[in-house]
Amino acid sequence: MKQFILPAILISEIIFFTWIGDYTFKSPEDFLRYFQSYSADLLTQSAPVLLAAFGMTLILATAGIDLSIASMIALISCVMSSFDGDVSFWWKAVPLGLLVALVLGLTNGSLIAVLDVPPIIATLGTMILFRGLCFTVMGDLEKSPFFDVPGYEWFGRFPGALLLISLVYLGLGAGYHYSRKKRELLMIGGNPIAARYAGIPVDRRLIQVYVFSGFMAFLSAVCFTARNSSVSGSSLTGMELQVIAAVILGGTRVQGGYSSLSGTFFGVFIIAVLDEGLRGAAGWGEENLPFKLSYLQYVLIGIILIGGVWMNTHLPFPKKNAKSS
Amino acid sequence: MHSEFSPRQDTDPVLELCGISKSFSGVSALKDVSFSLGTGEVLGLIGENGAGKSTLIKILSGIHSSDSGEIRYCGSQITVSNPAQGLRLGIAAIHQELAYCGSLTVAENMMLAEAWPRLKWGGVDWTKLHGQACLRLQEFGLNLDTQQLCRELSAAEKQELSIARALSLNAKLLILDEPTASLSEPEIKRLFDRLAQLKKQGVSMIYVSHRLEEVLSFVDRICVLRDGEQVGLYPVEEASIPRMIRDMVGRPLNQVFPRTRESFQGTELLRVEGLGRDGLFQDISFQVNAGEMVGLGGLVGAGRSELARALYGLYPVDSGAIKLRETILNSKSNACDRLQRKMVYVPEERKKQSLVLDHTLFNSICIGFSDLAARFGFIPPSFEQKKTEHCMERYRIRATGFDQSVGTLSGGNQQKSILARWLERKPDLIILDEPTRGVDIAAKMEIHSLMDQLAADGKGILLITSDLQELLGMSDRILVMCQGRITTELKGDRMTEDNVILAASDLLTPSTEIK
């Protein structure tokens, strides 16, 4: 029952916004064409969040949190954007971006695992710190356009983002599901003392998780720069909340010990469809509502987040923790 | 000291207990305990670990409620439903782990439970507050700076502060749970002087301690608990250390310990030389051979579990060496490395230290051995399932299925699942810390025969247990720890209950030894 809740919410959202969006479909082909471009838009738009949320899911599984994720992605983008947008970008900016990403992840991981700073405080600090570095790198410039991932928008008949997302969620997701690491992370999140007693190298695993999240932030930054034509010091402000909200909505527990990557996947889209739909329905809103519809977005995300956490703590848990990936 | 004051218990008892019983999820912790306590009388409550002393204290101070029985206090029947109500009635419990707020001052802690003096506009009148606190401390004969933070006080001062606080609330009954456990000799003496003074003022006390000489010198009457039952209640004049010990343990060795294995000693598995860690244990040397079960006895707090954790590499040691088979373990070797070297540790508190309560049985068992089956870090999907099914059958874990969450299993099944987790690794050296605590009798027997089987298969076992019967029944050899040191090694005929108890309090000498 519970595993159908998220897809059901997503589908009803899509139906609702298509309905108020005032589209007329003359033929089934017409509808297909609309649907194809709609999903392609949605995917390219959500790709950065989806990638970041993958890493965040693992972090939340260990009972951690990473508030710095948006600043981190922005900083990586800023660093990469300071290079020329020609072919040399591939062997200059990209490796440097990756290196920066791993170092930032390592910073968070070391603060939490080695120096024993609570995750929420450590990453609140680095969130501000990384944002400061963004402005240091960029000044008040806004750079555009500098980088074009070939085939990002359309790769043959598929959006390139779809390829990357499938690779990450199916490939890495399956790998994670069958790996011993998953069991160790869940045990660390569920009961860190028991994890230590069970001979799990807790500190090393925590560092690995944050470094991995840094790597996902790098992929996310690549997607972000490929979609948006400009990067500035204040890019992506507030995105961390969207990422965390999506992961929690997906059923991963903030207290750690239980994670759901498929839930995260749906969680991201539920928020993205809401976001996109409200923007698309601005016309309908002006006619029918006394306030601007776009403001409603934050209200709804807030409600969804609280509702999601409530569901996770008050609905009975799915029994097979190990089975859901 | 008791001679200075004769109890007036015949006049009007402050406290009367009639048939107090309590059980926790089917396991009986207290059965039909009844006694009365007169004004200014001190009752010594003694018993082994797990005999029910703490449960009784918790019922009296309102942390637990009794299942049946009656508590009469100053002539009227009461039910204490929470500690605050107990305090209002005049029953104050001074627990072993003292409750105080470290970052508040002495005066604030002193006045924590009552209304503070106010200034006209509603602010706190600090001068008056400190004055009041100071006055009360002086009444009690304590000279503490009321501005001092509580965490800066010594253990003895904290103890005295909490007693003074209890008395300032007009406590008529003081319950002291191991008050001397963390005090030094002169501090103990000072505490006793104070307590004797209180006794003269008519404060009744229930005094719980493992230190039998203290009990003998201070109390008027002695109540002995064993397995939750009250087995003795007699005036101190009739008591002696041998009698108290006999009452505490005196029951026949029953058939819970199915010893089938032949005594067989293989090669040396573990050798520990001069191991020490500041404040926890010092100068520990012993060895464990293959096929041998070595018992480690002693009182709670003697440093046994700390030693086990250090052996397992959970924290570093200051001095000494651990040799596992041929290898001397260096300081880099952690628990992970110990596991690879086939040493496992089953910790004492399974809910805190072993289990994630809402994880499934499946996950909980697999975490122990799945790395052995992993190929490049990935675990074949069918493997874990088969293995878990096998475990549930082999270790007779009773559950609705392997996706039942471990928190909902009974204590015995939880413990068996932990044993399954580690034993499937085929370890050579197994450290068991209280393996049958909180486990029902059937599961206890299963675990005992499993341990017997393991030793017969040539594994080395270090058994830490506070259950004397278990210690004596299972071990080939017993080491007794007292205050961080192994004081005694008992073998063969010397392995008797009396000797273990005496050794645990460091009282075993050739003259006291009971042959």
Task: Report the alpha-carbon distance of residue A137 to residue A233 in Å, rounded.
Answer: 8
Residue B96 lies in a domain: no
CA angle A17, A21, A22 (to 5 degrees): 140
Q: Closest chain A residue to B419 measured between Cα atoms? A: A198
pLDDT tops 50 at residue B82: yes
Choose between B265 and B125: higher pLDDT.
Answer: B125
Residue B510 lies in a domain: no
Choose between B115 and A232: higher pLDDT.
Answer: A232
What residues of A are in contact with residue B404 (Cβ under 8 Å)? 319
What residues of B are in contact with residue A197 (Cβ under 8 Å)? 312, 314, 335, 345, 347, 353-354
pLDDT tops 50 at residue B253: no
- For residue B153, give every residue at least 6 positions away whose Cβ sits within 8 Å of its Cβ, in sequence order, or none: B106, B144, B161
pLDDT score for A65: 94
Q: What is the dihedral of CA A293, A296, A298, A303, to 10 degrees?
A: -150
What residues of A are in contact with residue B363 (Cβ under 8 Å)? 183, 186-187, 321-322
Over residues A109-134, the pLDDT tens digits come to: 999 999 999 999 999 999 999 999 99
* Contact (CB, 8 A) for B43 and B37: yes
- Give chain B's mean pLDDT: 83
User: Among B249, B276, B298, which residue terminates a domain?
Assistant: B249
Q: Is B35 on the interface with A (CB under 8 A)?
A: no
Task: Report the alpha-carbon distance of residue A136 to residue A82 in Å, rounded.
Answer: 12
Residue type, A320: K
Confidence of residue B103 (pLDDT cuts 50, 70, 90): confident
Residue B85 lies in a domain: yes
CA distances from B361 to B16, B110, B385, B392, B408 (A): 46, 48, 11, 9, 10
Q: Closest chain B residue to A202 measured between Cα atoms? A: B336
pLDDT tops 90 at residue B73: no
Q: CB distance A183–B360 less than 8 Å? A: no
Determine the average pLDDT of the residues in B93-109.
Answer: 76
What residues of A are in contact with residue B380 (Cβ under 8 Å)? 178
Confidence of residue B261 (pLDDT cuts 50, 70, 90): confident
Confidence of residue A321 (pLDDT cuts 50, 70, 90): very low
Task: Report the alpha-carbon distance of residue B133 to residue B51 in Å, rounded.
Answer: 38
Determine the average pLDDT of the residues in B205-215.
Answer: 84
Confidence of residue A215 (pLDDT cuts 50, 70, 90): very high
pLDDT score for B222: 92
Residue B358 lies in a domain: yes
**E strand or H helix at A6, and its extent?**
helix A2-20
Q: Is B124 on the interface with A (CB under 8 A)?
A: no
Over residues A240-291, the pLDDT tens digits come to: 988 998 998 888 888 888 888 999 999 999 888 888 888 777 777 777 777 7
Q: What is the CATH number of the domain that holds B184?
A: 3.40.50.300
Confidence of residue A312 (pLDDT cuts 50, 70, 90): low
* Contact (CB, 8 A) for B346 and B422: yes
Confidence of residue A315 (pLDDT cuts 50, 70, 90): low
Determine the average pLDDT of the residues in B350-355.
Answer: 86
- Worst-scoring range by mean pLDDT, A82-91, B351-360, B471-480? A82-91
**B436 and B316 in one domain?**
yes
pLDDT score for B296: 92
pLDDT tops 80 at residue A48: yes
Q: What is the CATH number of the domain that holds A290?
A: 1.10.3470
Max mean pLDDT range (B208-212, B213-217, B373-377): B213-217
In the numeric block, the tokens 């006794």 are attached to: B199
What residues of A are in contact with residue B368 (Cβ under 8 Å)? 198
Residue B512 lies in a domain: no
Determine the structural domain holding residue B129 and report its residue range. Answer: 105-166
Q: How far is A63 from chain B (nearest CA, A)?
A: 13
The residue among A312, A298, A309, A307 whose CA lies nearest residue A242 is: A298
Which residues, numbered 334 to 353 in chain B, qualify as contacts with chain A under a Cβ-Cβ cut-off of 8 Å?
334-336, 338-339, 345, 347, 352-353
Count up the domains in chain A and report the number: 1
Q: CB distance A322–B363 less than 8 Å? A: yes
Determine the average pLDDT of the residues in B380-406.
Answer: 84
Over residues B437-467, the pLDDT tens digits come to: 777 667 888 888 899 889 988 899 999 988 7
**B283 and B412 in one domain?**
yes
Q: CB distance A257–B368 less than 8 Å? A: no
Q: How far is B407 from chain A (nearest CA, A)?
A: 12
pLDDT score for A2: 64
Q: CB distance A194–B354 less than 8 Å? A: yes
Determine the average pLDDT of the residues in B316-345.
Answer: 87
Confidence of residue A229 (pLDDT cuts 50, 70, 90): low
**B215 and B86 in one domain?**
yes
Task: Report the alpha-carbon distance of residue A202 to residue A206 in Å, rounded.
Answer: 6
Count up the domains in chain B and report the number: 3
**B148 and B63 in one domain?**
no
pLDDT score for A107: 95
Mutate to test the interface with B, among A197, A208, A212, A312 (most CBs of B within 10 A): A197
Residue A41 lies in a domain: yes
Residue type, B375: R
Determine the structural domain holding residue A282 and report its residue range. Answer: 2-314
Max mean pLDDT range (A143-147, A299-303, B200-204): B200-204
Over residues A149-205, the pLDDT tens digits come to: 666 666 566 677 788 888 899 999 998 888 888 889 999 999 999 999 988 999 999
Q: CB distance B355–A194 less than 8 Å? A: yes
pLDDT tops 50 at residue B2: no
Residue type, B56: L
Over residues A6-41, the pLDDT tens digits come to: 888 888 888 888 887 767 777 888 888 888 888 888
**B177 and B155 in one domain?**
no
Residue B294 forms beta bridges with which residues?
B462, B477
Confidence of residue A52 (pLDDT cuts 50, 70, 90): very high
pLDDT score for A320: 40
Residue A325 lies in a domain: no
Tell me if residue A100 falls in helix, strand or coil: helix
**B216 and B146 in one domain?**
no
Percentage of chain A lying above the pLDDT 70 cut: 88
Q: CB distance A199–B377 less than 8 Å? A: no
Residue A239 lies in a domain: yes
Which residues, numbered 354 to 393 in chain B, qualify as contacts with chain A under a Cβ-Cβ cut-off of 8 Å?
354-360, 362-363, 366-368, 370-371, 374, 377-381, 384
- Give chain A's mean pLDDT: 84
The string over B329-359, giving b where at least 16 C-beta atoms fall within 10 Å of a residue's C-beta and e elsewhere, is beeebbbbbbbebbbbbbbbbbeebbbbbbb
- Say what the pTM is: 0.76
Euclidean distance between the first and the last CA atom of chain A, given in angstroms as a whole number: 17
Q: Closest chain B residue to A204 measured between Cα atoms? A: B336
Residue B275 lies in a domain: yes
* Contact (CB, 8 A) for B108 and B145: no
